[in-house]
């Protein structure tokens, strides 16, 4: 007997609505939900493999607890007893900072990951927080923090309305988009071209996205900030800067013009490998387009000047008047955002409020660089306690962070480690306790994070498509119990965690004069919340307090959980709308175009102007059927062109005597690895490319299929000390490497 159930896909940032076919408790098929208000039936090969991802036989079914050195199945009670017994003594003896927390990418794809880690961090009081953000988009947060006073105010290109899109270091035809949530990104790019718009792609590889472009510029890796600075220079020099309606909200334009004075297209041409005429053309096209959006992603972030490049992306949007206007780049407004407060000066954004113990890296957004995790564990200093216990939630840093081999060893030296992870993989194999969440079909879904980055305002919620199997625990409950165990409240009712958040949030809301519930009784409001469990009540609360919410009756037509349940395909909230100056939280209340930390980093960029490393540099790549480190265990998603090969240009291959298919030794500052060569002119000369997330050949894991074609871990080549200094973001691209054919 089969039935269908709706489920928002959690496998990438596009958040497509899926219609699952369910036989008993097993998902046997997945297709795009044609009625989904946002994705309108789109699905990609990963989404189509939802059933295979869900029913992977290697998923852990019960908690594992280490006994006599070995991880063995245990009851949930035993597992949480072990967590409490492992973490509390570390906190009591060495203080909260000795407990590290590592949050990986899937936290932004689960309800649990959105709702509980902030509570854990607040309750633990640790400063030892490391997340996937510092191997990803932290430069963008820092640039937004400095420009707008809010690290989470990230403008999103208005894909469906723009006339000109400039993509830098992004390959949405493989990644399906990032920091720009857009189901069917490929279709939206084709629509842009069909309506007469233009697409420019800046990427050292001729990607599938680049092949769609009207202009592809194969920049030298790591040089985007120089190229973008030169484009901004041209806008000033040729009098093309025109802020339009933005002008009253922006300060520092003249100072910026002066600061970029020497970044001429001619001066950066050598280091970017982009001739001055092309740079000028890029700037002129941007200025001439009726509307345009500049958008930078991984390739522009994970480089030595990631924050400057991220900042310059917005600078170009601002100088051409495209920030905050339809067709440009706008600030989405999600249904669970806090009630917008009136415009006016804010508290600004602070960087470096504390520093990492070993290398003194400044915190950014409350986080320390993931690249520094290994040294924070394995290096003693006088400056404080090393990390002795670790809580890892949905994270596989052994494969995803630089210096993977060092981290692999460091994790073994911990007093205690708990992983919340469905797999026994390269990272969780070091844990003393592994707490497995249920597969996605058994979990609810709402995109707390991605709705704040979506090209259209909309809201959707799906309840679990399949009930929890016997013996399973919802990830929300796992994390609630973990919070209790880690903070000295082991054994308390996990519902108390949600009740506490509700009480605090409503208590604050009723005191806020701008809140729709100002002056009301928080207990009465709490009693009005609906939902089957704590997380649903919290979602209801956020929706009702949010910008589209019913305000607990103040706006009867507004959103609530019940409204969402009544609209299973979602509710469309309209296209992105101009919002300035409301989102600004800078001290000046304006967009601060040339913030001091940025100005202070420009000399470093200036000195890169005359640098042009002679040898090969390494960049990454993604494949449509991949997802970072954790989907190589699904046979349908591996094989074919999804392989861990080293892309190398024919000229370089010939010069070095590298044959297609033959093994090559790749040496980087952090270590070496061997991979088969794939000779292809899709990479530019001087650049080689290896994908990340591979290297599934370690003992003690349970990834049966992945182990048959393990690939190599590119991150063991990378040097963890190479960072973008402002954001602490890892340098993953443009890294010098030396190749030798293996004979
Ligand atoms: N060289 C290089 N390295 C990179 C990158 C690159 O481009 N080049 N990209 C970087 C980027 S952008 C990112 S985001 C990081 C990602 O790196 P990580 O944050 O480590 O994420 P994943 O590799 O996706 O591993 C996710 C972990 O979560 C587990 N998991 C899957 N689903 C769930 C779930 O529902 N609940 C829980 N609790 N766990 C789950 C998986 O089993 C896996 O262990 O990698 C980075 N590393
Ligand atoms: N299929 C699939 N989809 C994914 C993921 C996945 O692993 N697989 N991961 C998800 C995650 S966590 C993220 S963060 C997003 C990332 O989404 P994207 O940013 O679109 O990621 P990539 O496809 O890696 O594209 C980055 C591009 O940058 C180029 N590049 C490298 N160095 C430079 C440089 O210095 N300058 C410029 N201009 N370009 C450079 C690379 O050649 C590559 O084509 O994708 C998400 N979606
Ligand atoms: S594009 Fe992303 S969200 Fe959509 S089906 Fe594919 S993996 Fe899922
Ligand atoms: Mo990412």
Token pair in block for residue 586? 């800078």
Query: In the block, which residue shows the tokens 């924050």?
Result: 307
Token pair in block for residue 402? 């630089």
What is the per-residue pLDDT across 148-197, written as a single tens digit (0 to 9) for each?
A: 999 999 999 999 999 999 999 999 999 999 999 999 999 999 999 999 99
- 191: which residues sit within 8 A by CB, 6+ positions away? 160
Closest among 697, 646, 650 to 674, alpha carbons compared: 646
Asked if 486 contacts 99 with a C-beta cutoff of 8 angstroms, the reply is yes
* Domains, the chain, with CATH or none: 2-54 (3.30.200.210), 59-126+369-445+470-492 (3.40.50.740), 138-337+581-605 (3.40.228.10), 613-741 (2.40.40.20)
Which residue, by CA, sits nearest to atom 24 of ligand 1?
A: 628
**Rounded Cα gap, residues 678 and 643, in angstroms:** 10
**Rounded Cα gap, residues 324 and 147, in angstroms:** 14
- 494: which residues sit within 8 A by CB, 6+ positions away? 477, 480, 481, 484, 534
> Got the DSSP string for 198-228?
EEEEE-SB--HHHHH-SEEE-PPTT-HHHHH
Which of 30, 34, 38, 176 maximizes ligand 3 atoms within 8 Å of its Cβ, making it the mutation to test the pocket? 176
Which residue, by CA, sits nearest to atom 36 of ligand 1?
A: 394
| Exposed / middle / buried, residue 24 (Cβ in 10 Å: 0-12, 13-18, 19+) | exposed
Q: Residue 327: pLDDT band by 50, 70, 90 thresholds?
A: very high
What is the per-residue pLDDT across 29-42, written as a single tens digit (0 to 9) for each?
A: 999 999 999 999 99
Report the mean per-residue pLDDT for the chain. Answer: 97
Query: pLDDT value at position 340?
Result: 86
Query: pLDDT value at position 383?
Result: 86
Arithmetic mean of pLDDT, 587-615: 94
Distance from the alpha carbon of residue 441 to the mean position of ligand 1, in angstroms: 19
Which residue, by CA, sits nearest to atom 2 of ligand 3?
A: 12
**Rounded Cα gap, residues 21 and 4, in angstroms:** 5
Is this model's pTM higher than 0.85 or not? Answer: yes
Extended beta strands in 402-530, E state: 416-420, 433-435, 456-459
- 350: which residues sit within 8 A by CB, 6+ positions away? none
Asked if 179 contacts 167 with a C-beta cutoff of 8 angstroms, the reply is no
Share of the chain above pLDDT 90, in %: 98
**Rounded Cα gap, residues 628 and 56, in angstroms:** 17
Extended beta strands in 597-718, E state: 616-619, 646-648, 663-668, 671-679, 687-689
| Ligand 2 closest atom vs CA 623 | 1
Is the Cα torsion angle 501, 504, 508, 511 positive or negative in sign? positive
| Exposed / middle / buried, residue 527 (Cβ in 10 Å: 0-12, 13-18, 19+) | exposed
Token pair in block for residue 655? 């010069």
Q: Residue 371: pLDDT band by 50, 70, 90 thresholds?
A: very high
Which residue, by CA, sits nearest to atom 19 of ligand 1?
A: 104
Is the Cα torsion angle 418, 423, 426, 430 positive or negative in sign? positive
**Rounded Cα gap, residues 357 and 367, in angstroms:** 13
On the question of a cis peptide bond just before residue 581, with omega within 30 degrees of 0, the verdict is yes
Closest among 728, 734, 742, 727 to 349, alpha carbons compared: 727
Token pair in block for residue 108? 């932004």
Is residue 337 predicted with pLDDT exceeding 90?
yes
Q: Residue 611: pLDDT band by 50, 70, 90 thresholds?
A: confident
Torsion of CA 505, 511, 515, 520, to 10 degrees: 90
Arithmetic mean of pLDDT, 242-259: 98
Q: Is the CB of 449 under 6 A from ligand 2?
A: no
Is residue 65 predicted with pLDDT exceeding 90?
yes
DSSP state at residue 232: H
Asked if 152 contacts 452 with a C-beta cutoff of 8 angstroms, the reply is yes
Query: pLDDT value at position 315?
Result: 99
Distance from the alpha carbon of residue 742 to the mean position of ligand 2, in angstroms: 29
What is the per-residue pLDDT across 404-456, written as a single tens digit (0 to 9) for each?
A: 899 999 999 999 999 999 999 999 999 999 999 999 999 999 999 999 999 99
Query: pLDDT value at position 339?
Result: 84
Query: In the block, which residue shows the tokens 């609630």?
Result: 480
Where helices occur in 487-609 by DSSP H, the ranges are 495-511, 522-528, 534-545, 561-566, 596-608
Q: Is the CB of 8 under 6 A from ligand 3?
A: no
Is the Cα torsion angle 139, 145, 146, 148 positive or negative in sign? positive
**Rounded Cα gap, residues 191 and 130, in angstroms:** 39
Query: pLDDT value at position 373?
Result: 98
Which of 10, 430, 622, 630 maximizes ligand 1 atoms within 8 Å of its Cβ, making it the mutation to test the pocket? 630
Phi, psi of 473 (to 5 degrees): -130, 135
Query: pLDDT value at position 219?
Result: 98
154 membership: H or E segment, kind and range: none
Query: pLDDT value at position 573?
Result: 98
Distance from the alpha carbon of residue 132 to the mean position of ligand 2, in angstroms: 14
Closest among 527, 198, 505 to 339, alpha carbons compared: 505
Q: Is the CB of 138 under 6 A from ligand 1?
A: no
> Got the DSSP string for 483-497?
HHHHTT-TTS-THHH
Token pair in block for residue 278? 């092309």
Which of 203, 307, 640 maximizes ligand 2 atoms within 8 Å of its Cβ, making it the mutation to test the pocket? 203
Share of the chain above pLDDT 70, in %: 100
**Rounded Cα gap, residues 233 and 230, in angstroms:** 5
Strands 215-217 and 198-202: parallel
Which of 6, 43, 51, 172 maximizes ligand 3 atoms within 8 Å of its Cβ, making it the mutation to test the pocket? 43
Angle at 679 between CA 704 and CA 709, to 5 degrees: 5
Which residue, by CA, sits nearest to atom 4 of ligand 3?
A: 16
Query: pLDDT value at position 613?
Result: 76
Arithmetic mean of pLDDT, 689-705: 97
Q: Residue 1: pLDDT band by 50, 70, 90 thresholds?
A: confident
Strands 433-435 and 64-67: antiparallel
Strands 389-393 and 416-420: parallel
Is the Cα torsion angle 411, 414, 419, 424 positive or negative in sign? positive
Arithmetic mean of pLDDT, 69-75: 97
Q: Name 456's bridge partners.
A: 575
Q: Is the CB of 733 under 6 A from ligand 2?
A: yes
**Rounded Cα gap, residues 129 and 728, in angstroms:** 12
Closest among 102, 129, 629, 125 to 392, alpha carbons compared: 102
Query: pLDDT value at position 657?
Result: 97
């Amino acid at each position: 007997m089969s039935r269908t159930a709706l489920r928002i896909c959690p496998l990438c940032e596009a958040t497509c609505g899926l219609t699952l076919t369910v036989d008993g408790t097993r998902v046997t098929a997945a297709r795009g939900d044609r009625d989904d208000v946002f994705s309108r039936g789109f699905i990609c090969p990963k989404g189509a493999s939802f059933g295979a991802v869900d029913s992977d036989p290697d998923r852990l079914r019960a908690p594992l607890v280490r006994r006599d050195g070995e991880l063995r199945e245990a009851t949930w009670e035993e597992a949480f007893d072990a967590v409490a017994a492992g973490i509390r003594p570390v906190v009591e003896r060495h203080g909260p900072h000795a407990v590290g927390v590592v949050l990986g990418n899937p936290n932004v794809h689960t309800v649990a990951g959105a709702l509980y880690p902030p509570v854990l961090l607040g309750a633990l009081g640790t400063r030892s927080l490391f997340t996937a953000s510092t191997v990803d988009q932290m430069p963008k947060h820092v640039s937004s923090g400095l420009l707008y006073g809010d690290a989470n105010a990230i403008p999103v290109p208005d894909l469906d309305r723009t006339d000109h899109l400039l993509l830098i270091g992004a390959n949405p035809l493989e990644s399906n988009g990032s920091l720009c949530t857009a189901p069917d990104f490929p279709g939206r790019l084709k629509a842009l071209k069909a309506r007469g718009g233009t697409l420019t792609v800046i990427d050292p590889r001729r990607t599938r996205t680049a092949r769609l472009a009207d202009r592809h510029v194969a920049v030298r890796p790591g040089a985007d900030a120089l190229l973008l600075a030169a484009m901004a220079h041209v806008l000033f020099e040729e009098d093309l800067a025109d802020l339009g309606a933005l002008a009253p909200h922006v300060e520092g334009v003249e100072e910026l013009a002066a600061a970029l004075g020497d970044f001429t297209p001619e001066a950066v041409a050598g280091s970017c490998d982009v001739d001055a005429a092309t740079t000028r053309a890029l700037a002129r096209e941007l200025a001439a387009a009726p509307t345009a959006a500049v958008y930078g992603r991984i390739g522009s972030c994970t480089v030595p000047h990631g924050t400057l490049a991220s900042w310059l992306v917005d600078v170009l949007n601002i100088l051409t008047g495209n920030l905050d206007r339809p067709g440009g780049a706008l600030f989405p407004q999600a249904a669970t955002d806090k009630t917008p407060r009136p415009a006016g000066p804010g508290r600004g954004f602070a960087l470096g409020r504390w520093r990492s113990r070993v290398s003194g890296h400044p915190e950014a957004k409350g986080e320390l660089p993931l690249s520094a995790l290994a040294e924070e564990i394995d290096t003693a200093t006088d400056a404080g306690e090393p990390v002795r216990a670790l809580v890892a939630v949905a994270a596989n840093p052994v494969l995803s962070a630089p210096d993977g081999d060092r981290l692999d060893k460091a994790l073994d030296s911990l007093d205690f480690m708990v992983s919340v992870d469905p797999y026994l993989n390269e990272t969780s194999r070091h844990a003393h306790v592994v707490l497995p969440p249920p597969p996605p079909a058994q979990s609810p879904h709402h995109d707390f994070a991605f709705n704040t980055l979506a090209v259209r305002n909309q809201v959707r919620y799906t309840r679990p498509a399949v009930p929890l199997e016997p013996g399973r625990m919802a990830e929300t409950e796992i994390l609630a119990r973990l919070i209790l165990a880690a903070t000295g409240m082991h054994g308390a009712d996990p519902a108390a965690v949600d009740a506490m958040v509700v009480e605090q949030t409503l208590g604050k809301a009723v005191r806020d004069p701008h809140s729709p519930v100002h002056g009301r009784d928080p207990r009465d409001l709490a009693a009005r919340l609906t939902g089957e469990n704590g997380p649903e009540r919290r979602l209801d609360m956020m929706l009702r307090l949010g910008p589209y919410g019913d305000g607990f009756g103040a706006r009867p037509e507004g959103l609530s959980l019940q409204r969402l349940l009544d609209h299973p395909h979602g509710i469309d909230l309209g296209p992105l709308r101009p919002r300035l100056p409301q989102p600004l939280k800078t001290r000046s209340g304006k967009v601060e175009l040339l913030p001091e930390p940025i100005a202070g980093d420009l000399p470093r960029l200036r000195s890169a102007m005359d640098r042009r490393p002679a040898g090969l540099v390494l960049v990454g790549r993604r494949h449509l059927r991949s997802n970072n480190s954790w989907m190589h265990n699904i046979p349908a998603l591996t094989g074919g062109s999804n392989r861990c090969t080293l892309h190398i240009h024919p000229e370089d291959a010939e010069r070095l005597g590298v044959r297609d298919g033959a093994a090559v030794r790749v040496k980087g500052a952090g270590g070496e690895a061997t991979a088969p060569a794939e000779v292809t002119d899709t990479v530019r000369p001087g650049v080689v490319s290896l994908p990340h997330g591979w290297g599934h050949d370690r003992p003690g894991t349970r990834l049966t299929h992945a182990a048959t074609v393990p690939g190599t871990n590119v991150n063991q080549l990378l040097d963890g000390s190479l960072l973008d200094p402002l954001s602490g973001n890892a340098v993953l691209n443009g890294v010098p490497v030396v190749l030798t054919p293996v004979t």
